[in-house]
């Protein structure tokens, strides 16, 4: 062990390595707060060459390595074991280039998402990824988890926003594929292998991101709906009217909506009556007045068709923020509840039936309790939260079994956007065939034959 430490010191310098009590506990676990563990060491790499040197050494010694970004992950993917060395990317941050002609931004992997968003805005562009952890998460972590967020319906997943990558393989090989072109059919698209690989195939060190023109208008409305099928019809009608300008379609079931309202400042629902479903819809485009007219016309048509029972149209940015505050009550869950969270996806036509059956299953199992359902349904993504405080003695494992067994029957996926990490690996076979899993293992074996990269994540 002393061999590898002295070689690491030579490679990155004494000051870039922390061991023992000098390790900040933020490296022990991610946002899940699951199984905190003090790793053997944390290495703060400052260049691709340093990452390559560290991996070359660790590979030669069979030393497990855990890549860490901002530690905001929700699947336990960045949690180290006590025998692991962490490679932290936090000191590899910065924007290297904005190419206005190609509409791309080249960044180092440790750059926080919010820094990227702000730099894009300053240059007259926008970066299509947005999520609640924007201030702390890093683009390398976003890419490694193929993060989704609130704009997927308009901009796609992280996978759709990356044109090129630089990655260091387990043996220290630097794979530089910093492509800026939209069309590039020259064999396998290797970058896609690393996007969503959760640190198990390589350490991402640089990325070329795809930018979009900055949108200048935004319309927001909260709509009350009679049932799930009508919500889907309404979503498609909005898309017919507004095309790619639909930027959010957040569906909330009543218990979620009521909790959200109770946590807002004035605690008052915008509607006089209770409704079976609520959709927060948003349009982002380029022409304020014309966009407002198209949005208003789409809502009027839906009201006249009887698809909407009621609707509130935000008249200002602060009214829009007040409507979003109901949906963003999720940020309060860790303080207010003992949340057991699920991030699942299903074909959009099945989400309503799944949510109903899941609720019936919970009611039959536990009687009165609090469970919450909301979804980015345009992205086929449903989030389910059970408040463990309202089900005495319930374990995460027991709720996992209930939800994932039902999900398997519906042909859904156990992770829509947070990844598998440590927490869902047992359930990966619920969503992937034996042949798919065998193929994944062959890829892992080919790229990391000694199994040093993030062992125990994704697979047992």
Ligand X SMILES: Cc1cc2nc3c(=O)[nH]c(=O)nc-3n(C[C@H](O)[C@H](O)[C@H](O)COP(=O)(O)OP(=O)(O)OC[C@H]3O[C@@H](n4cnc5c(N)ncnc54)[C@H](O)[C@@H]3O)c2cc1C
* Residues of the shown chain interacting with ligand X in the complex, contacts defined by CB under 6 A: 30-31, 66-74, 77-78, 89, 109, 131-133, 137-138, 140-142, 144-145, 147-149, 198-199, 203-204, 417-418, 421, 454, 457
Q: Are 67 and 144 in contact (CB under 8 A)?
A: yes
Question: Measured from the CB atom, is 33 or 274 closer to ligand X?
Answer: 33
Q: Are 80 and 23 in contact (CB under 8 A)?
A: no
Question: Measured from the CB atom, is 76 or 285 closer to ligand X?
Answer: 76
Residue number of the CB atom closest to ligand X: 141
Is 85 in a helix, a strand, or coil? strand
Nearest approach, Cβ of 77 to ligand X (angstroms)? 3
Residue 438 makes CB contacts below 8 A (sequence gap 6+) with none
Handedness of CA 237, 241, 245, 248 (dihedral sign): negative
Question: Measured from the CB atom, is 291 or 379 closer to ligand X?
Answer: 379
Q: Are 87 and 54 in contact (CB under 8 A)?
A: yes
Nearest approach, Cβ of 417 to ligand X (angstroms)? 3
Nearest approach, Cβ of 83 to ligand X (angstroms)? 16
Q: Are 309 and 226 in contact (CB under 8 A)?
A: yes
Q: What is the dihedral of CA 92, 73, 144, 104, to 10 degrees?
A: -60
Nearest approach, Cβ of 405 to ligand X (angstroms)? 24
Question: Measured from the CB atom, is 131 or 174 closer to ligand X?
Answer: 131
Nearest approach, Cβ of 137 to ligand X (angstroms)? 4
Residue 171 is classified by DSSP as: T
Distance CA 331, CA 133 (A): 10
Helix or strand holding residue 259 (H, E): helix 254-262
Q: Are 308 and 302 in contact (CB under 8 A)?
A: yes
Question: Measured from the CB atom, is 39 or 230 closer to ligand X?
Answer: 39
Nearest approach, Cβ of 100 to ligand X (angstroms)? 26
Question: Measured from the CB atom, is 89 or 348 closer to ligand X?
Answer: 89
């Amino acid at each position: 062990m002393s061999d590898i430490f002295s070689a690491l010191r030579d490679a990155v310098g004494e000051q870039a390595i922390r061991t023992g009590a000098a390790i900040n506990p933020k490296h022990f676990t991610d946002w899940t707060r699951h199984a905190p563990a003090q790793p053997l060491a944390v290495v703060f790499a400052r260049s691709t060459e340093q990452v390559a040197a560290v991996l070359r050494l660790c590979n030669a010694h069979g030393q497990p390595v855990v890549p860490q970004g901002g530690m905001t992950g929700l699947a336990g993917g960045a949690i180290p074991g006590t025998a692991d060395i962490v490679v932290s990317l936090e000191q590899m941050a910065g924007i290297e280039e904005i190419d206005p002609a190609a509409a791309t931004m080249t960044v180092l992997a440790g750059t926080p998402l919010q820094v990227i968003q702000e730099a894009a805005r300053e240059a007259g562009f926008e970066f299509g990824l947005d999520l609640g952890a924007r201030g702390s998460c890093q683009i390398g972590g976003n890419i490694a988890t193929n993060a989704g967020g609130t704009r997927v319906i308009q901009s796609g997943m992280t996978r759709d926003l990356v044109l090129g990558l630089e990655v260091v393989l387990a043996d220290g090989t630097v794979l530089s594929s910093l492509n800026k072109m939209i069309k590039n059919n020259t064999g396998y698209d290797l970058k896609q292998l690393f996007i969503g690989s959760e640190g198990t195939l390589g350490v991402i060190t640089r990325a070329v991101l795809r930018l979009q023109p900055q949108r200048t208008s935004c319309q927001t409305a909260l709509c009350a709906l009679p049932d799930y099928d009508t919500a889907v019809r309404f979503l498609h009608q909005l898309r017919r009217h507004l095309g790619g300008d639909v930027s959010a379609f957040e569906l909330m079931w009543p218990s979620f909506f009521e909790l959200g309202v109770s946590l807002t400042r004035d605690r008052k629902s915008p509607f006089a009556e209770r409704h079976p479903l609520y959709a927060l819809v948003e349009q982002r485009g380029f022409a304020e007045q014309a966009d407002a007219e198209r949005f208003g016309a789409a809502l009027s048509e839906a009201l006249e068709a009887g698809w909407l029972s009621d609707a509130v149209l935000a008249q200002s940015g602060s009214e829009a923020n007040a409507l979003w505050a109901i949906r963003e009550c999720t940020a309060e869950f860790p303080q207010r509840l003992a949340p057991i969270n699920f991030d699942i996806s299903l074909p959009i036509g099945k989400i309503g039936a799944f949510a109903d059956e899941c609720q019936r299953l919970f009611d039959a199992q536990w009687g009165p309790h609090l469970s919450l359902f909301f979804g980015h349904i345009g992205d086929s993504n449903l989030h389910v939260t059970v408040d463990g405080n309202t089900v005495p003695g319930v374990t995460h494992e027991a709720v996992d079994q209930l939800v994932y067994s039902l999900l398997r029957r519906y042909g859904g996926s156990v992770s829509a956007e947070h990844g598998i990490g440590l927490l869902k690996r047992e359930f990966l076979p619920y969503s992937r065939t034996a042949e798919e899993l065998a193929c994944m293992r062959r890829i892992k074996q080919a790229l990391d034959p000694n199994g040093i990269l993030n062992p125990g994540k994704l697979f047992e």
